[in-house]
């Protein structure tokens, strides 16, 4: 260890730099005046509301400054992710000290006035957020909702061979579900072609009010846990700053050297195996260097240090005095000059230019993003003659398209899916790239394993980890596509929410360059669960999506192969959105040839003339659909209606881009009222057959002129083991229900329609009986095709 | 090990019993006739569609029958949770063999005809589900969505000192986030008063298409992982059935004896510490005893065994022959008599009566449920004089109520919250019960740690684990209450979905007794995030809730202390619902004294006469609110409107029970149209100030007569660091926006109202400016009280 030990002057400067960080972190929480304590501290210098998290800030800065030392020593290319993002003062401080903050936000200059702005605006309305928000230079991880730091870090490291991603995990965060499984990401990192992730578990012992689990198990258990997760744990434990600097410098350096040795060995040999990557456990007191006790209660090293250690400073002179003593313990006068500038001897410790973690372009990934090279999606088209007469698995041609995208973009595109790429019929991609796998191999893998150390298809049975990887990959300037089961996309609802919030904020940050959209294919949908039953039926993700900012959300329901291809190609080229594509993987009727699909998808909504008979006249009824099975059933209803009521003028509308239904004032894709009215009429009944829960359509369209005549059918939470048609009947999206509905809505069909309604009810019973007898749908219904 | 080794005859019978299970599991997947192969197998005996998961079934049965052995030997009180619930054939088979299935479902009797029904109906429309659904005797865990087996198991074990919960975790499930952190549940189990959980990790090596991670790390890593998680791992590994029976019998027995020794030691000494509980790793081939190869490809012991190992049996005579060979390899003629009854010598192996895991009353918890002893909630009331004139923290009195519930129900009630019970102001509960903590203690815990080995407040920073524990606790007949941050309740969206589905199905299963409702207090809400910012603002959980069956979902938004108490008391006594209560923890205005609160809550919606001036006449406008901050702002708007337009007749409606807005046909709580119309008028403008995303109100009320005049304000995804009023202004739920809105909706106010509108806009600017200058709300606005 001796050779890595800091010599005293270097240690002293590093410590003082850290003290400057701690001073700034405390200042951000407390001060609205007298920023460098040039005069005695008074109550009026204190903010009216004391907000912020002191607890993990000193530890975060401690880690940051020690990484800085190694960046300088080894010219590292490194970014930093703060799992406990609410410890933002501990990140903002070193970011400010290395000048990035002032460069980007000139009113927070490196002088007294700038410092005061920096303090005052922290956690203040209209000011600086209290997490590592998109406004924070160097951040790709806000840390507002806990659990995703490691998966984000791995996403950043994939295909960035020179990047070292340092990620601090709070011991609170370490208890979350998402974090607990993400340690296994090391089985998916290839030392030959990927960068490295250095996790630093910050055991500061406490959460808001509780000890953390990992700080209250034995050292042996903790070590075993990380050995078991496949890491090589290193420990830096203690509270004396001088001793801790010496330990941290040595051990962190040995970790970095170990990482380099692993990489060199792999790269020199050309052989990628799973090494034991180092990770570090930093056990340091919560609220380190802050008040030890307040009013007779332990604070430093206890949960009371979590937020604001001294609360009553404006009212209680003893607290004010204690705060002043605390702040002066950092000797700000020995750190900053009288103008508020960090002393040059300390400033010298900050990395320069893009070596600063706060200025590393990987953390503003749009700057590095290269447009995806896309083959022509039309090359993958399904041949469609007469609409509604041929069948195909909707996702299979997309798999071929993704395969060729993978081929054309060999180092900046990945495909993600929880053990379901094959099940979702995208497995053609394996022809050019296998599933990444750095865990053990067995002989049988050679026959159908599709595993490889250099694959770029990411499969793990954790939607959380996949989503985290993908977000990290995108935020560092790359491209990706995620396919997952519809019901279980709810597993990552909260991650979707948080990523949507990140994007919405990031779009308002002028210096952030646009990143690739997050493309989410929702497949294995509610209508084709066959034997999986009720637990696998949930199309409600879309209800979440529409809560998020219209600036970043898009929803598509392509009903067949060619529309899916056109939509996917569009999504893959877009930036700063979350594109949600709903399309089932099973065999479905094909409706549109490629030309028609392109036209239809560019409009996003439109009349299908071939299924309509209202040419030149106002229709009697509009049948509309969104989604594959609902479209088939609605079309089948049209044929029944036409057979029985040849005079009835039916318009058929299909919706691919769901937001077309929104008012134009609420979503950029929303149709104008005029266009909406011209499609849906002013006063005719509309039967809308929808893929999801029916209320969503009302939520989008309730302001439209003809809303009172809009009748929506969709999934109504009815199901168990069902054939497709029988499930449709239960939820009344089937052809027969739609015919009955139509008859009920058109007064002059009521009499003539009575016997048709009865026939429809009989058909429903026949279909159910057949399904209950044979376990499959009535062939006539199942094999239905558009007849004309 | 010798003393535990099975003697040969016992081993032989156990093996044959397991073979009977395997035969039944395969039969369920394949056969629709010739159930015991009394004649040669023909294509017409095979189901038309082959559905089901063979892969994990033999392993599940293997575990089940070995537990049976120990139930008989030690009179264990045990239930079984199958993490891989899609391996239902492996559970249904032993459940049938121990007669429970036939007792409950007489048409599946223990004879040829019953057996045939049992086979035919599996995974068949209207038949037997392909997971461990609520219809499955002995199941409290469906295993449709993966990840919750261990947390459910612990929930079942808490406060059930004599219960042994055996839980099988699939190695696919083991990769999920929720499962990965739930291993830490052992730090919350007290051997003195709780039962035991015996986890059996089933390493069958593969998921749908991929190897499982934990099966592809070294034995040493795997062992270290579980040692690190705090368990004592035992391994049963192999593929030869005879050897495996011997190993399993010995090791499983040693685990059970170890558990008993731990419990005895704790119970004899009266000292509870955290032991190293045993857990078991069963490494056995996927699709064990099934076809080794099919068409030249490895099946047994590979992912191809996941579902149906032989697919083309109806068309391909070779497959049919292979199936027959496979089925006959179990020698059904040596297991069942010609009538289809299990031979008596094998039947003797099944436990009897309630010792059968499928008939254990804990797995039908409603049978054991005792009503909660509730103190009178009125004893905790806030003294409220003039409405809207005093303030209180809404959740604090609830904390006292919960404290006394805890006292009155010392062994069947627990409180759950992710590190937030204090933060959510419920900490009075610690006076009678601390936080359960079996991990290490430090001296400082005595001052504010609130930890105890015998606490019943459950806190861990994993919403998944808490929700899983609570579900397990409720499903085994106990009571609970969960409080959590609003934005992060989305972390468990999918668990909510699945529990709602379980309840909806369970209610239709006649033999399932009602269980206590899952009570979820959503607090720390969107409107009071102050410095937490955008990531902490998300009231969208309710949008998920309304997708689920109206038979099991309830939503309440009590605006103050007394309504919160009344609602909570109601929820705590209810059964088979998920009650979602939204109420912030901060100080808020108090509106209703206890009498008024009870009246208001029993109606769920009503006119607040004291805030209305439309007595005896039709109002000009209805102002309505749901939620604490929206109610305050709406009332403040009323006072401004009255001041400026004293002639304006305003009706003020407050909604506590959100489903009152639904049509009566869609939710049992829905108001009749007549009642709705009499509250909201037929044609007057309604300004509805809502807690959540505004569209939800439209979704509930779009069919109401006066919907066209319904204008809803709510959270519109606008926010960052905000004061409460400033956040309200940004989202237009503030008093000023409501006044402007009202003026805009009432034609004869437009002229007179122009200057008022301007004044409102000026006030908004003043409020914003004040907040941006001082970091707090304008005192006049912040301290606003109802003036009359």
Confirm if A98 and A360 have CB atoms less than 8 A apart.
Answer: no
Of the candidates A48, A33, A51, the one whose C-alpha atom is nearest the C-alpha of residue A88 is A51
Average pLDDT, chain B: 96
Q: Does B449 touch chain A (CB under 8 A)?
A: yes
Q: Which secondary structure element, helix H or strand E, spans residue A594, and what is its range?
A: helix A594-603
Q: Does B494 touch chain A (CB under 8 A)?
A: yes
Q: List A residues 82-111 in contact with B (Cβ-Cβ < 8 A).
A: 86
Per DSSP, helices labelled H in B75-193 are: 89-97, 100-104, 112-121, 149-157, 177-182
Q: What is the pLDDT of residue B6?
A: 65
CA distance A10 to A337: 20
First to last CA, chain A: 82
Phi, psi of A571 (to 5 degrees): -65, -40
Query: Angle B277-B280-B284 (CA atoms, 0-180°, nearest 5)?
Result: 175
Q: Is B234 on the interface with A (CB under 8 A)?
A: no
pLDDT(B788) > 80: no
Q: How many CB atoms lie within 10 A of CB B484?
A: 23
pLDDT digits (tens, 9 = 90+) for B304-347: 999 999 999 999 999 999 999 999 999 999 999 999 999 999 99
Q: Cα(B195)–Cα(B201) distance, rounded to whole angstroms?
A: 19
Contact call for B177 and A464, based on CB within 8 A = yes
Enumerate residues 6+ apart whose C-beta is below 8 A from B106: none
Q: How far apart are CA A603 and CA B477, in angstroms?
A: 55
Distance CA B85, CA B134 (A): 11
CATH of A394-588, one of 3.30.160.270, 3.40.50.300, 3.40.50.970, 3.40.50.150: 3.40.50.970
Nearest to A335 by CA among A17, A590, A567: A17
Instruction: Look at residue A3 in the predicted model and tell me its pLDDT.
Output: 47
Q: Does A142 touch chain B (CB under 8 A)?
A: yes
Nearest neighbour of B180 by CB, restricted to A180, A297, A442: A180
- In this predicted structure, what is the pLDDT of residue B330? 98
**Alpha carbon distance A357, A165 (integer Å):** 10
Q: Which residues of chain A have pLDDT under 70?
A: 1-6
Residue B267 has pLDDT above 60, yes or no: yes
CB spacing of A488 vs B145 below 8 angstroms: yes
The total of other beta-carbon atoms located within 10 Å of residue A25's CB is 30
What does the alpha-carbon distance between residue B16 and residue B10 come to, in Å, rounded to a whole number?
10
Residues 288-327 of B with CB under 8 A from A: 297-298, 301-304
Question: Between the CA of residue B278 and those of B148, B197, B253, B255, B439, what are the distances in Å?
Answer: 19, 9, 11, 6, 17
Q: Are residues B715 and B688 in contact, defined by beta-carbon separation less than 8 angstroms?
A: no
Q: Which of B676, B746, B753 is nearest to B711 (CA)?
A: B746
Question: Is residue B3 over pLDDT 50?
Answer: no
Number of other residues whose CB lies within 10 A of the CB of residue B220: 10
What's the rounded Cα separation, in Å, for the pair B466 and B488? 13
CB-CB contact of A350 with A64 (8 Å): no
- Residue B647 has a CB neighbour count (10 Å cut-off) of 9
| Residue B612 burial by Cβ neighbours in a 10 Å radius (0-12, 13-18, 19+) | middle
pLDDT at res. A6? 65
Residue B7 has pLDDT above 80, yes or no: no
Mutation target for B interface from A28, A666, A705, A721: give the one with most B CBs within 10 A: A721
Domain B2-362 and domain B377-588, same fold? Reply is: yes
pLDDT tens by residue, B416-431: 999 889 989 999 999 9
Cα B492 to Cα A536: distance, rounded to the nearest angstrom:
16
Does domain B2-362 match CATH 3.40.50.970? yes
Handedness of CA A747, A750, A756, A760 (dihedral sign): positive
Nearest CA distance, A238 vs chain B (angstrom): 16
Nearest to A460 by CA among B285, B174, B229: B174
Does any CB of chain B come closer than 8 Å to the CB of residue A486? no
| Secondary structure element (H or E) that encloses residue B638, with its range | helix B628-644
| Assigned CATH topology for domain B606-782 | Rossmann fold (3.40.50)
Extended strands (E) in A137-206: 163-170, 196-203
Q: Higher confidence at residue B722 or residue A766?
A: A766
How many Cβ atoms are within 10 Å of A469's Cβ, its own excluded?
Answer: 30
A304 Cα to chain B: minimum distance (Å):
9
Contact status, residue A674 vs residue A643, Cβ threshold 8 Å? no
Using DSSP bridges, classify how beta strands B621-626 and B686-690 pair: parallel, antiparallel or unpaired: parallel
A contact test, residue of B55, B83, B174, B176 with most A CBs within 10 A: B176
- Rounded to whole angstroms, how far apart are CA atoms A99 and A520? 38
Residue A588 DSSP label: E
| Cβ–Cβ below 8 Å for B459 and A504 | no
- Count of alpha carbons within 13 angstroms of residue B629, beta-carbon side: 29
CA angle in degrees (0–180, nearest 5) for A499-A503-A505: 115
Look at residue B2 and tell me whether its pLDDT is greater than 60: no
Q: For position A1, what pLDDT does the model report?
A: 39
Chain A residues near residue B459 by CB distance under 8 angstroms: 209-210
CA distance B512 to chain A (A): 18
CB within 8 A of B344, min separation 6: which ones? none
pLDDT of residue B5: 57
Place of tokens 């006063």: A683
Q: Where are the alpha helices (DSSP H) in A348-438?
A: 396-408
Interface contacts (A, B; CB < 8 Å): 375
Give the closest of B173, B222, B229 to A225, CB-based.
B229
Q: How far is CA A768 from CA A714, A723, A765, B30, in A?
A: 19, 9, 5, 22
pLDDT digits (tens, 9 = 90+) for B227-266: 999 999 999 999 999 999 999 999 999 999 999 999 999 9
Among candidates A301, A538, A775 on the partner chain, residue whose Cβ is nearest the Cβ of B124: A775
- Integer-rounded Cα Rg, in Å, for chain B is 30
Q: Which residues face A308 on adjacent strands?
A: none
Residues B65-112: pLDDT tens digits? 999 999 999 999 999 999 998 999 999 999 999 999 999 999 999 999
Domain ranges of chain A: 2-362, 394-588, 606-782
Cα three-residue angle B687-B689-B695, rounded to 5 degrees? 90
CA B119, chain centre distance (Å): 31
Those residues with Cβ within 8 angstroms of residue B3's Cβ, 6 or more apart along the chain or in another chain: none
Q: Give the residue on A whose Cα is nearest the Cα of B276.
A: A221
Distance separating alpha carbons of residues B553 and B569, to the nearest angstrom: 17
Beta-strand pair B605-607/A578-582: unpaired
Cα(A441)–Cα(A436) distance, integer angstroms: 12
N-term to C-term CA, chain B: 82
CATH top-level class for B377-588? Answer: alpha beta
Interchain pair B133, A216: CB under 8 A: no
Cβ-contact B703, A698 below 8 angstroms: no
Residue B4 has pLDDT above 70, yes or no: no
Token pair of B279 as six digits: 């857990």
Q: What is the DSSP string of A584-628?
A: -SSEEEE---HHHHHHHHHHSEEE-GGG---TTS--SEEEEEESH
| Residue tagged 């593969």 (tokens) | B206
B536 to A144: CB separation less than 8 angstroms, yes or no: yes
Place of tokens 């000192």: B161
Residues of B in contact with A175 (CB under 8 A): 181, 184, 460-462
Inter-chain touch B180–A175, beta carbons under 8 Å: no
Q: Could B493 and A535 be called an inter-chain contact, meaning their C-beta atoms sit closer than 8 Å?
A: no
- State the pLDDT at residue A85: 86
Cut 0.90: pTM above it: yes
Q: Is A181 in Cβ contact with B497 (below 8 Å)? A: no
| Cα nearest neighbour of B175 on chain A | A461
- Quick check: A126 and B720 CB within 8 A? yes
Least Cα distance to B772 among A35, A126, A360, A784 occurs for A126
């Amino acid at each position: 260890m001796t050779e890595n030990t800091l010599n005293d002057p270097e240690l002293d400067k590093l410590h003082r730099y850290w003290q400057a960080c701690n001073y700034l972190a405390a200042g951000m929480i407390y001060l609205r005046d007298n920023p460098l304590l040039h005069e005695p501290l008074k109550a009026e210098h204190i903010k009216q509301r004391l907000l912020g998290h002191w607890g993990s800030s000193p530890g975060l800065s401690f880690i940051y400054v020690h990484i800085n030392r190694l960046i300088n020593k080894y010219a590292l290319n490194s970014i930093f992710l703060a799992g406990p993002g609410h410890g933002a003062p501990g990140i903002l401080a070193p970011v400010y000290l290395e000048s990035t903050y002032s460069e980007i936000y000139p009113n927070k200059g490196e002088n007294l006035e700038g410092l005061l702005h920096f303090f005052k605006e922290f956690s203040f309305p209209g000011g600086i957020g209290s997490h590592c928000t998109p406004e924070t230079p160097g951040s790709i991880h806000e840390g507002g909702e806990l659990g995703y730091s490691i998966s984000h870090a791995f996403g950043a490291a994939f295909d960035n061979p020179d990047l070292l991603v340092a990620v601090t995990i709070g011991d609170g965060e370490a208890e979350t579900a998402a974090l607990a499984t993400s340690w296994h990401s090391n089985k998916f990192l290839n030392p030959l072609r990927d960068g490295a992730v250095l996790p630093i578990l910050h055991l500061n012992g406490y959460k808001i009010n509780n000890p953390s689990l990992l700080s209250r198990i034995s050292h042996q258990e903790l070590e075993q846990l990380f050995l078991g997760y496949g890491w090589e744990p290193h420990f830096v434990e203690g509270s004396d700053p001088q001793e801790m600097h010496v330990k941290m410098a040595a051990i962190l350096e040995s970790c970095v050297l170990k990482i380099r040795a692993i990489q060199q060995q792999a790269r020199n040999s050309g052989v990628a195996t799973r090494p034991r990557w180092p990770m570090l456990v930093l056990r340091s007191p919560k609220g380190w260097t802050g008040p030890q006790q307040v009013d007779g209660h332990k604070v430093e090293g206890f949960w009371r240090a979590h937020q604001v250690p001294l609360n009553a400073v404006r009212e209680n002179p003893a607290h004010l005095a204690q705060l002043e003593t605390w702040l002066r313990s950092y000797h700000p006068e020995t750190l900053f000059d009288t103008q508020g500038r960090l002393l040059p001897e300390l400033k010298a410790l900050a990395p320069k230019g893009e070596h600063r973690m706060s200025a590393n372009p990987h953390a503003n990934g749009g700057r590095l993003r290269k447009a995806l090279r896309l083959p022509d999606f039309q090359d993958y088209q399904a041949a469609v003659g007469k609409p509604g007469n041929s069948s195909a698995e909707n996702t299979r041609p997309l798999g071929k398209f993704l395969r060729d995208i993978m081929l054309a973009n060999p180092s900046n595109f990945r495909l993600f899916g929880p053990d379901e790429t094959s099940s979702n019929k995208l497995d053609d991609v394996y022809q050019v790239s296998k599933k990444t796998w750095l865990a053990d191999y067995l002989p049988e893998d050679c026959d159908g394993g599709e595993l490889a150390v250099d694959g770029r298809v990411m499969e793990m049975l954790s939607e959380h980890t996949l989503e985290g990887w993908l977000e990290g990959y995108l935020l560092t300037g790359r491209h990706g596509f995620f396919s997952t089961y519809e019901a279980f996309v709810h597993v990552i609802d909260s991650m979707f929410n948080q990523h949507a919030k990140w994007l919405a904020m990031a779009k308002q940050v002028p210096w952030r360059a646009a990143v690739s959209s997050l493309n989410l294919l929702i497949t294995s949908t509610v209508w084709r669960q066959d034997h999986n039953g009720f637990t696998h039926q949930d199309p409600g993700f879309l209800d979440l999506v529409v809560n998020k900012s219209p600036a970043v959300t898009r929803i598509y329901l392509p009903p067949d192969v060619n529309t899916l291809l056109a939509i996917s190609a569009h999504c893959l080229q877009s930036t700063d959105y979350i594109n949600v594509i709903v399309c089932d993987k099973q065999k479905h009727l094909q409706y549109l040839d490629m030309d028609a699909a392109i036209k239809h998808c560019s409009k996003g909504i439109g009349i299908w003339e071939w299924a309509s008979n209202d040419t030149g006249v106002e229709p009697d009824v509009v049948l509309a659909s969104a989604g594959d099975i609902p479209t088939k059933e609605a079309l089948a209803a049209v044929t029944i209606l036409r057979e029985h009521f040849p005079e009835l003028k039916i318009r058929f509308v299909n919706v691919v881009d769901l937001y077309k239904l929104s008012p134009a004032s609420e979503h950029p894709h929303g149709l104008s009222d005029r266009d909406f009215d011209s499609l849906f009429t002013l006063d005719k009944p509309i039967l809308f057959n929808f893929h999801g829960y029916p209320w969503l359509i009302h939520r989008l369209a309730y302001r439209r002129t003809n809303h009172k005549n809009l009748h929506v059918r969709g999934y109504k939470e009815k199901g168990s083991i069902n054939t497709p048609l029988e499930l449709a009947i239960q939820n009344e999206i089937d052809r027969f229900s739609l015919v009955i509905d139509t008859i009920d809505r058109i007064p002059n069909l009521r009499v003539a329609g009575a016997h048709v309604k009865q026939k429809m009810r009989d058909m429903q019973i026949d279909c159910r009986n057949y399904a209950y007898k044979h376990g499959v749908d009535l062939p006539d219904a199942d094999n239905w095709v558009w007849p004309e």
